[in-house]
Amino acid sequence: MIGADAIIKCLEEEGVSTVFGYPGVAICPFFNSILDSDIKTVLIRTEQNAAHAASGVARMTGRPGVCAVTSGPGATNVITGIATAFADSIPLICITGQVNSELLGSDVFQEADITGAVESFVKYSYLVKNVNDIPRVFREAFYIANTGRKGPVLIDIPIDIQNATIKNFHYPEEVNLRTYKPTVKGHAVQIKKVIRELEKAKRPIICAGGGVLLSEAEEELRAFAEEHRIPVVSTMMGIGVMPTEHPLYYGMVGNNGKAYANRAMNESDLLIMVGARVADRAVSQPDLITRNKVLVHIDVDPAEIGKNAGPSIPLVGDAKHIFLDFQKEEFSCDHGEWLTTLNEYRSTMEKKRTPNPDFVDPAAFITRLSEKMQEDGIYVADVGQNQIWSCGYHIVKKGKFLTSGGMGTMGYSIPAAMGAKTAAMDKQVIAVCGDGSFQMSMMELATIRQHRIPVKIIVLKNNYLGMVREYQHYTYKDHYSVVDLSGSPDLEKLSAAYDIPYLRLNNMEHVDEVLDNFLAEDNTMLLECLIDPMDLVK
């Protein structure tokens, strides 16, 4: 058995079923050995999207997604995908080929110091220098990626190590890392402090972040909120913790969130932030969430607690364990008056849009799409105006909402949807993007076609980089610079080139008919929706 065979054996031991990648000489031993395995390989068309696709798998399965690329430009191209996963705490295993060990540091063809390059946005990285270390390295990598605060781990493997003979393959049953002991259980004293504050509070609220979804604590948080009638808001990455139309859910907070959600959080006297970084998009003024209120910050990563806002009660641990412990505590509280106030805010503060009838209204379209989607359908939003409209108007029922939150990476939706569909072929998966973000990943139509991945794609087309144009509209008084997308391809002809069925929606007149046809198609289909170029999300 050579090192490449050992890598495949490690992936099999971890239950990996799919690897997204792009080969090159430095990773060829790996891709040669995988032919003797049942692990499926998917050839993506640019390396960044291999990481996005692996992210889609991770977010569907709760286990690390895997991608593999070659050295040099292959490794550097995948960096943006790694950074995207790191920002949203998505577990990935990124395997990169590397030049011969003896040539490291000599600037040979396609050599790049990838472990050094990704240092600031991986949870950990390895440069394998001994073939016998492969089983230990992979066992540790999967453990690190998927415990504590989850994230990407990079494993860089020189080609000579992949070709070297491994003496005895033994995959470790346990991992014992002296310097890595993530806290899972919340401190009992801190838990009781939170409960005491809940008993006293008149206006409590829970703000759920992406960490709740990563710890699979949706049911526990929901049950706790329902039992004690505690209202819930979410960050962008926390969308889906509560069904959108749940009576206790008051929407997304932040500079692109619901006005009544932000008001609810600001006027609360007890704010429980769970699995959220208190980052600028969700909380633009951190001092507001500490003023005149008790702030409880729950996070599995102690480094996040107090980083952006000083909590009254810090509570380190996994959200699922903590909410299970909360449910064991007996206490009573009455927030009826608070809920009445919040319901009034929700009914009176919803923004009224005045869409142009000559175009598709993206807000109404996304709501109509949501109503027609399967209950457990997967909605993958890209970045830009399409993302903000999706956050505001998509209705999550029993499905998932995937997007790039922390990094805001354009081009995310199509490859992430490919990964999500690969991991859950029985679920409806729809990627929604703008014409700018679509062109960052449209090469993956070839991957979709080659590997028969039936992802549905919606392009909201306005011929602009809409989010930047909107910023320039407000900031520079319509003095637009480098946002005009003239020269974009004819999507009908592009779809035909890839043998993908195509539909166009010009306005809202035939929206039901077009959506019914779009959703009835079992295979991949592209729907182009023409949006008013001057439409605004605010």
DSSP 323-372: HHHHHHS------HHHHHHHHHHHHHSSPPP---TTSB-HHHHHHHHHHH
State the DSSP H helix or E strand holding residue 516, giving kind and residue range, or none if neither. helix 511-520
- Same CATH fold assignment for domains 188-349 and 362-530: yes
CATH of 362-530, one of 3.40.50.2000, 3.40.50.1220, 3.40.190.10, 3.40.50.970: 3.40.50.970
Domain ranges, ordered by start, for the chain: 3-163, 188-349, 362-530
**What pLDDT was estimated at residue 283?**
65
Helix/strand/coil percentages in the chain, nearest 5: 40, 15, 40
CB-CB contact of 354 with 221 (8 Å): no
Token reading at 82: 């790694």
Residues 6+ apart with CB under 8 A from 213: 237, 238, 240, 241, 275, 400
The rounded mean pLDDT for the chain is 95
**Can you tell me the distance from the alpha carbon of 21 to that of 44, in angstroms, rounded to the nearest whole number?**
6
pLDDT in tens, 133-157: 999 999 999 999 999 999 999 999 9
Q: Over pLDDT 90: what percentage of the chain?
A: 90
Confidence of residue 305 (pLDDT cuts 50, 70, 90): confident
Q: Which of 43-57, 261-275, 282-296, 381-395 is predicted least confidently? A: 282-296
| Tens digits of residue pLDDT in 221-280 | 999 999 999 999 999 999 999 999 999 999 999 989 999 999 999 999 999 999 998 765
DSSP string, 76-96: HHTHHHHHHHHHTT--EEEEE
Domain 3-163: give its CATH code. Answer: 3.40.50.970
Alpha-carbon span 196 to 198, nearest angstrom: 5
Per residue in 354-406, pLDDT (tens digit) is 999 999 999 999 999 999 999 999 999 999 999 999 999 999 999 999 999 99
* β-strands 40-43, 92-98 pairing: unpaired
Angle ∠(348,350,351) on CA atoms, nearest 5: 125
3-state secondary structure of 449: helix
Enter the CATH code of domain 188-349.
3.40.50.1220
- What is the predicted pLDDT for the residue at 464? 97
Q: Which two tokens stand for residue 208?
A: 């759920």
